[in-house]
Amino acid sequence: GKCHVIRLGLDGDIIKRDETIEKTEHASFVHFGRLTEKKHPIATLEAFKLVAAEIPEATLTFIGDGPLKSELLERIEVSAIKDRVRCLGAMERAEALKEVQRHWVFVQHSVTAKSGDQEGFALSPAEAALMEMPVVSTWHNGIPEHVIDGETGFLVNEFDYETMAERMLELAGDESLMEKFGQNGRRNVTQICSHEFRSMQLEELITAKNS
């Protein structure tokens, strides 16, 4: 039979930008998610090293815990930019989303792990879009459904951290582009993940199966 994609429902009335949270005064990037092989935080760090060479005041924040945390911390410690990268560990979701909003660009370098493990829809980048943040991620599984390359953010090939750095730099240097991508992202995710749209799809599917 045919496959039908019915996306996760996200409530844009609950997940939205909090105007009282001020952004950093410098270029800042944030990753919120488990530190696992399929989210490849090491590639994000390597991309940021290239960004940091061009923007000395830029920062990167990781929110989350996971099996790659110790390797990530070790790599940060021996890098020349250790004072500009923070690892905040696991946080309550509501607090994490507040921290995410302090930054300008959401970054997540998802890849297919050696085990074959992949992202599904990838929740955190979609939530970032609802909070009007541009996203830099990868052409990976469900991510291109809610990160539209050149409209709501940028997508790069898996493991291509050099191009990821270029896209991060492009956004960081253009506040109006970040704002435009953020607004486009919210509009897109609100539309494709609305509970009403999801209910309508489910109803159509059930009706078609019973007819």
Q: Is the pLDDT of residue 112 over 90?
A: no
- List the one residue out of 196, 46, 184, 51 whose CA is nearest residue 128: 184
Work out the number of other CB atoms within 10 angstroms of the CB of residue 132: 19
Q: How many CB atoms lie within 10 A of CB 108?
A: 26
The pLDDT value recorded for residue 208 is 61
What is the band of 6 on the pLDDT scale with cuts at 50, 70, 90? very low
Angle at the Cα of 146 from the Cα atoms of 142 and 147, rounded to 5 degrees? 100
For range 181-192, the mean pLDDT: 94
Residues 125-176 pLDDT 10s: 999 999 999 999 999 888 998 899 999 999 999 999 999 999 999 999 999 9
Check residue 141 and give its pLDDT: 81
Which of 98, 90, 114, 100 has the alpha carbon at shortest distance from 40?
114
Residue 89: predicted pLDDT: 96
Q: What is the reported pLDDT for 142? A: 83
Confidence bin at 38 (pLDDT 50/70/90) = very high
Share of the chain above pLDDT 90, in %: 74
pLDDT in tens, 177-186: 999 999 999 9
Average pLDDT, stretch 7-20? 75
Q: DSSP assignment of 14-58, as one string?
A: TS---TTSPPPSS-EEEEES---GGG-HHHHHHHHHHHHHH-TT-
Calpha distance 62→182 (Å, rounded): 20
Average pLDDT, the chain: 89
Nearest-angstrom CA–CA distance, 35 and 68: 5
The alpha carbon dihedral of 157, 162, 164, 167 has a sign of: negative
User: What are 104's two structure tokens?
Assistant: 């300008």
Burial per residue of 186-206, b for 16 or more beta-carbon CB atoms within 10 angstroms, e otherwise = bbbbbebbbeeebeeeeeeee
pTM for the whole thing? 0.87
